[in-house]
Amino acid sequence: MSAADDASPAVRTRRLGVIGSFVWDVLHGRDRRSVPIEEWGGITYSLSALDAALPDDWDIVPLAMVGNDLLDRAQLFCRGLRRMAPDAALIGVPYPNNRVELRYLDDERRSEHLTGGVPGWTWLGLKPVLDASRLDALYINLLSGWELDLETMQLIRAHFAGPIYCDLHMLVMAVQADGLRTPRPLPNVAAWCACFDVLQVNEDEMHLMAPDSMALAATAIAAGVSVLCVTLGKRGAAYFAAPGFERLTDLPPRRGHNAALSTSPRGGAGALGAVRTALVPGVPPRVDGPGDPTGCGDVWGATHFSRLLAGDMLTEAMGTANRAASRNVEHRGATGLAHHLRGELSTT
């Protein structure tokens, strides 16, 4: 028998697409200093957490446009991640990259001013990128709020059969003329929910979508969401799971090309009575003082989806996400964050 005959077949590396915005942050008041701090923000927190939490047989494939003024720096950041796919490439665009000025009001709340002009995706531009990326799953974090409009998101759901995780994030924020972000109610909540398998919101975002968590859960699960997660800061996170959902393999099969635009595979609003809900308590950070809460929700969601992709049960994945968000509080910024989340010493 030859060595070739004896060799086991190679395991195909699976590919996770990531849609979100690279943002350059200017932070005031985070460290009680008079001098602002500048560093990467936006999707870099999610990418760092994915790099730390994804199983070894998964690669990260960012589907992201970056302003040419910061393209080189964004590519350098990506090259520092272990799980980045060998063929991954950011797309440079001739617009100033998104930048956000953050002023912390307390440990968890802040004001944000946005500048920059990286456009959102159109389906005409995204479809060939999506097809060429050969994805097995998709993680979406709407960090500008206009990365995808509803029509484009519906076409993604109709076109892509793999699991889709979404952190709605800035979709419920408007941008005023001076760049200040302000809350706005989200129209077409059910239509948005129909596009996702796993949906993440925080408490403030939830209240811009529905009167309370049970009302949002009723809408989301009737639309086809398998699990709604509501992050609660230091308290942890609550979940509302559809009947029968314990892990990602329990997702219902997609029924044809137009599944995203059809009725719920779960049979509509009558299914809510069997919804399972619980709180998964948070983990206190190991720091004296407030720490740095920037990016905690992004780290939470990316870690949560990573562990679901690894096959973890829902509450187990959420517990790991709570611990990762707590560890994020102990670290300043996204540079070196993946090392920190893995418990390694950073060389940066």
Tell me the average pLDDT across 311-337: 95
Structure confidence by residue, pLDDT tens digits, 243-291:
999 999 999 986 443 333 333 444 444 445 589 999 999 998 876 666 7
Q: What is the pLDDT of residue 26?
A: 85
Least confident residue range of 15-29, 210-224, 266-280: 266-280
Mean pLDDT (the chain, rounded): 88
Tell me the average pLDDT across 70-87: 97
Whether residue 285 contacts residue 291, with contact meaning beta carbons closer than 8 Å, is answered with yes
Distance (Å, rounded) from C-alpha 131 to C-alpha 135? 8
First to last CA, the chain: 49
Q: Is 265 exposed, middle or buried (0-12, 13-18, 19+ CB in 10 A)?
A: middle
Per-residue pLDDT at 84 exceeds 80: yes
Per-residue pLDDT at 102 exceeds 90: no
Q: What is the pLDDT of residue 181?
A: 84
Q: What is the pLDDT of residue 71?
A: 98
Tell me the average pLDDT across 130-148: 96
Structure confidence by residue, pLDDT tens digits, 160-202:
999 999 999 999 998 888 888 899 999 999 999 999 999 999 9
Q: Is 43 exposed, middle or buried (0-12, 13-18, 19+ CB in 10 A)?
A: buried
Q: What is the pLDDT of residue 106?
A: 64
pLDDT category at 10 given cuts 50, 70, 90 is low
Q: What is the pLDDT of residue 261?
A: 32
Helix/strand/coil percent split, the chain, to 5: 35, 25, 40
Structure confidence by residue, pLDDT tens digits, 29-43:
666 556 788 899 999
Structure confidence by residue, pLDDT tens digits, 108-121:
666 778 888 899 99
DSSP code at position 221: H
Alpha carbon 247 to chain centroid distance?
A: 18
User: Which of 12 and 259 is assigned the larger pLDDT?
Assistant: 12
Q: What is the pLDDT of residue 113?
A: 85
Structure confidence by residue, pLDDT tens digits, 305-319:
999 999 999 999 999
Q: What is the pLDDT of residue 267?
A: 43
Q: What is the pLDDT of residue 93?
A: 97
pTM listed for this prediction? 0.89
Q: What is the pLDDT of residue 346?
A: 57
Whether residue 23 contacts residue 43, with contact meaning beta carbons closer than 8 Å, is answered with yes
Backbone angles phi, psi at 256, to 5 degrees: 90, 175
What is the second-level CATH architecture of the domain 12-341? 3-Layer(aba) Sandwich (3.40)
pLDDT category at 60 given cuts 50, 70, 90 is very high
Portion of the chain with pLDDT greater than 70, in percent:
85
